[in-house]
């Protein structure tokens, strides 16, 4: 665009001046545009995050495409998505609309049965969870729902895949796959 060319030309003129103080604070037009776009993206992200409790959204710290671990076996894929979103078939969720379902865990636990409870502290699944726990400890990643379900963006892809494998083993061993 002609405007950009003029602005760049003016910016370059200032760069050629011998006064070093001016040089420091001169941003080119593309730099300014990038800054405006980044600000706008951050504002958009904050606005979107404020409207939801979905971990796949609230765990994000930047906009854009995030590689999403998928699985070719449909029940496993469904379970992964349900764990990430919090919209699952566990009693804590169902009890929100079904008065006959109690929110607590069906076996021996008195805690609300949700994704966070069954993945992390529930003693019913501690044996099934052991391998998953050890894998996270070895990789030095925090044991929390975003990390386990592959939506902690700060974790590299190869680690995500290792954890996903162990998570799937846990879901099968614990028979949670059939309930989530």
Q: Which residues bind Zn ion (CB under 5 A)?
A: 105, 109, 122
| Shortest reach from residue 120's CB to Zn ion, in Å | 10
DSSP β-bridge partners for residue 104: 112
| Shortest reach from residue 175's CB to Zn ion, in Å | 14
Closest CB to Zn ion belongs to which residue?
109
Q: Between 77 and 126, whose beta carbon lies closer to Zn ion?
A: 126
| Shortest reach from residue 149's CB to Zn ion, in Å | 18
Q: Between 79 and 105, whose beta carbon lies closer to Zn ion?
A: 105
Q: Between 4 and 126, whose beta carbon lies closer to Zn ion?
A: 126
DSSP β-bridge partners for residue 112: 104
* CA proximity to 129, closest of 155, 167, 72, 160: 167
Q: Between 109 and 153, whose beta carbon lies closer to Zn ion?
A: 109
| Shortest reach from residue 85's CB to Zn ion, in Å | 21
Sign (positive or negative) of CA dihedral 179, 170, 115, 77: negative
Work out the number of other CB atoms within 10 angstroms of the CB of residue 134.
11
* CA proximity to 26, closest of 9, 39, 14: 14
Q: What is the CA angle 25-27-33, rounded to 5?
A: 145
Q: Between 94 and 109, whose beta carbon lies closer to Zn ion?
A: 109
Whole-angstrom Cα distance, residue 14 to residue 35? 21
| Shortest reach from residue 131's CB to Zn ion, in Å | 19
Alpha helices in 16-28 (DSSP H): 20-24
Helix (H) / strand (E) containing 5? helix 2-15
């Amino acid at each position: 665009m002609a405007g950009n060319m003029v602005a760049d030309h003016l910016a370059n003129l200032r760069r050629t001046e011998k006064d070093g103080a001016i040089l420091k604070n001169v941003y080119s037009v593309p730099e300014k545009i990038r800054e405006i776009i980044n600000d706008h993206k951050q504002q958009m992200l904050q606005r979107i995050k404020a409207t939801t409790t979905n971990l796949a959204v609230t765990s994000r710290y930047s906009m854009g495409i995030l590689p999403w671990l998928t699985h070719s076996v449909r029940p496993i894929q469904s379970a992964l998505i349900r764990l990430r979103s919090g919209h699952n078939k566990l009693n804590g969720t169902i009890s929100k609309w079904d008065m006959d379902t109690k929110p607590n865990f069906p076996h021996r636990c008195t805690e609300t049965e949700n994704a966070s409870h069954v993945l992390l502290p529930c003693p019913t699944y501690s044996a099934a969870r052991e391998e998953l726990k050890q894998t996270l400890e070895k990789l030095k990643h925090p044991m929390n729902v975003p990390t386990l379900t592959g939506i902690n963006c700060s974790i590299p892809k190869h680690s995500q895949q290792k954890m996903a494998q162990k998570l799937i083993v846990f879901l099968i061993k614990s028979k949670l796959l059939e309930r989530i």
